[in-house]
Structure 1
């Protein structure tokens, strides 16, 4: 799958979702081919080299209503945040952590303090709740205490060549539309507890916390 194929697939996904012109417009504006290519290649090389790559989505840090909405096993949001933090603490400082959208809701400063406490080389694949309704993304300029970027990249999608030449596509929205790949492995979020069945050409892996209740190690 080339970058152009991945971008075309992503545009088709957006067309099937509820209209969010400003949000989706920003996602497309952040589709930087050089950055997406560099991060995707780094992830592919890490996996080919036997390194651990971690993936999760839909953490909704700081979002109290998600507990009832998804029947999460927490009494209140502080306990949920603390549990998520403990789970992500297993990531080693040089390992990749890919968050496939919807990182946090609620107080932004508190959420940023939370994510700064998490180790690893962090990549955010944007979800609809990672941008304001006007399309503004608050994560782009966030930094670590030493002034380094908090995220290695903030992108709308990733893609690389997987096992046996299979195309791998990472997106918050599931890739339920037609595509050019002969075989596609789609790591996605957005659906919370829903798990999609595989089709003849697409295998879906919902990496959302409400499916895994933890982190997926690729």
Structure 2
């Protein structure tokens, strides 16, 4: 059985993101290799990954090499830096601007709606009935974004690891205590 993962904002190959997001890496190569290793520690070959944008900022030929090293079936929700990566589209199951996903909720007879977009939304479909909103783009800098069922899924917030659906549920449930 496949596990479902969510992540965002790897910025593979982007030297400037190290300083901008205060990442603990000395070089782009160190950053890339660490993130590939951490991705593959959790994600297995047949797992499903929803990447919420800004996967890389580098020549497509180099990014393809990195994408081929990543486990899982990757679905890309485009970020503001992903238009440069058109030549990598074969590596993705699909590419969209926005996606809604319904998953079984083990604590309910209902499904859990997950609204995904690269950018954080102030409101989203199902917000007042418990729908989750997963986003990236902000690199953990939205400290006043108090939305109990919204979560910045970017790697800068999660020690450069993708999060499983179970981990997302746990974080959101803890936010609502």
Q: Tell me which interval the TM-score lies in, with the shorter structure as reference length.
A: 0.7 to 0.9
List per-residue Cα deviations over 1:104-157 (Å, max 9, x = no partner).
Answer: 01222111110111111111111111015xxxx615x64xxxxxx311111112
Cα pair distance change 1:99/1:212, threshold 3 Å: same
Equivalent position of 1:175 in the other structure: 121
Whether 2:43 is the aligned partner of 1:88: answer no
Q: CA deviation at 1:179?
A: 4.2
Determine the C-alpha separation between the residues in 2 that align with 1:215 and 1:178.
23
RMSD of aligned Cα (Å)? 2.0
Determine the C-alpha separation between the residues in 2 that align with 1:194 and 1:176.
15
Equivalent position of 1:23 in the other structure: none
Q: CA deviation at 1:194?
A: 2.5
Structure 1 residue runs of 4 or more that deviate by more than 6 Å after TM superposition = none
1:64-79 equivalences in 2 (<5 Å): 64-79=15-30
Whether 2:118 is the aligned partner of 1:155: answer no
| Structure 1 unaligned regions, length at least 5 | 1-49, 143-148
More strand by share: 2
Q: 2:74 aligns with which of 107, 122, 141?
A: 122
Determine the C-alpha separation between the residues in 1 that align with 2:125 and 2:83.
26
Cα pair distance change 1:177/1:75, threshold 3 Å: same
Determine the C-alpha separation between the residues in 1 that align with 2:50 and 2:112.
20
Number of aligned residue pairs = 155
Whether 2:44 is the aligned partner of 1:98: answer no
Determine the C-alpha separation between the residues in 1 that align with 2:100 and 2:22.
32
Larger Rg: 1
